[in-house]
Amino acid sequence: MIVAISIVKPISWVLSFIPAYGMRAAGDVKFSMIVSTLTMWLCRVALCIYLCRVWGFGPMAVWIGMFADWTIRAIIFSTRFLSGKWCEKSIV
């Protein structure tokens, strides 16, 4: 597990959280909240349950679910960040 975490976390985690923090600070809170909630439930929870019950993965299923969550968030948030749509939001 440590090897997998050491490889995936520096790449995937950074791209899934840092752009989201910046967009939240700029007022794009709703998009970040919806994406984070959906990916958490669909990847972390659902994938973990599937991998544990169907494939018998055990603890590694939790990490695979988190890696999938981080990777999908990284793709979505990086795309949103590069598109510039978050700049259209305004802070009151």
| Domain regions of the chain by residue span | 26-78
pLDDT digits (tens, 9 = 90+) for 9-50: 898 999 999 999 999 988 899 999 999 999 999 999 999 999
Please, are residues 77 and 15 in contact by the beta-carbon 8 Å criterion? yes
Tokens matching residue 16: 């899934």
d(CA 85, CA 14) in angstroms, rounded, equals: 20
DSSP 3: H
pLDDT, tens only, 46-83: 999 999 999 999 889 999 999 999 999 999 999 999 99
What would the two tokens of residue 83 be?
A: 């598109």
Asked if residues 62 and 72 have their Cβ atoms less than 8 Å apart, the reply is: no
> Tell me, what's the pLDDT at 4?
86
Round to whole Å and give the CA distance between 66 and 64. 5
Q: Residue 12: its pLDDT value, please?
A: 92
Say which residue, 76 or 86, is predicted with more confidence.
76
